[in-house]
């Protein structure tokens, strides 16, 4: 069963977005950060897990102003989904070969 993730917006402005994602960890955040930093309209992106015993990372995105940070985050999430689908297909193919 998949663990539920709760998202809370901590800060939102024209070019900044800061969210807390309860139930996420380094795996998801690292992948999202990678895709966020690949976006040309991103000025700054990263995440922090303020306390190691409480898995509630804070993800931060600052755009260059041309695109809203929430749109950039949605794009990064879509890229992450596509990457996951592609991995699933490749894994199924590799397992059939063995």
- Chain-wide mean pLDDT for the chain? 92
Of 6, 4, 13, 5, nearest to 60 by C-alpha is 13
**What percentage of residues in the chain have a pLDDT greater than 90?**
78
- pLDDT single digits (tens) 32-53: 999 999 999 999 999 999 887 7
DSSP, collapsed to helix, strand or coil, labels residue 19 as strand
User: In terms of residues, how long is the chain?
Assistant: 98
**15: DSSP letter:** S
How do strand 6-12 and strand 42-48 relate by DSSP bridges? Answer: unpaired
Of 60, 90, 87, 92, nearest to 76 by C-alpha is 60
Instruction: Kindly list the structural domains of the chain, giving each domain's residue range(s) and its CATH number in brackets, ordered by start.
Output: 6-97 (3.30.1360.10)
Strand-pair partners of 63: 42
Q: How far is CA 91 from the centre of its chain?
A: 22
């Amino acid at each position: 069963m998949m663990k539920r993730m709760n998202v809370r917006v901590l800060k939102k402005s024209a070019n900044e977005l800061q969210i807390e994602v309860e139930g996420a960890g380094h795996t998801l955040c690292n992948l999202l950060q990678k895709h966020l930093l690949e976006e040309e309209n991103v000025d700054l992106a990263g995440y922090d897990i303020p306390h190691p015993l409480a898995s509630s990372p804070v993800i931060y995105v600052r755009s260059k102003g041309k695109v809203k940070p929430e749109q950039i985050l949605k794009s990064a999430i879509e890229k992450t989904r596509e990457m996951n689908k592609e991995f699933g297909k490749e894994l199924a193919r590799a397992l059939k070969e063995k």
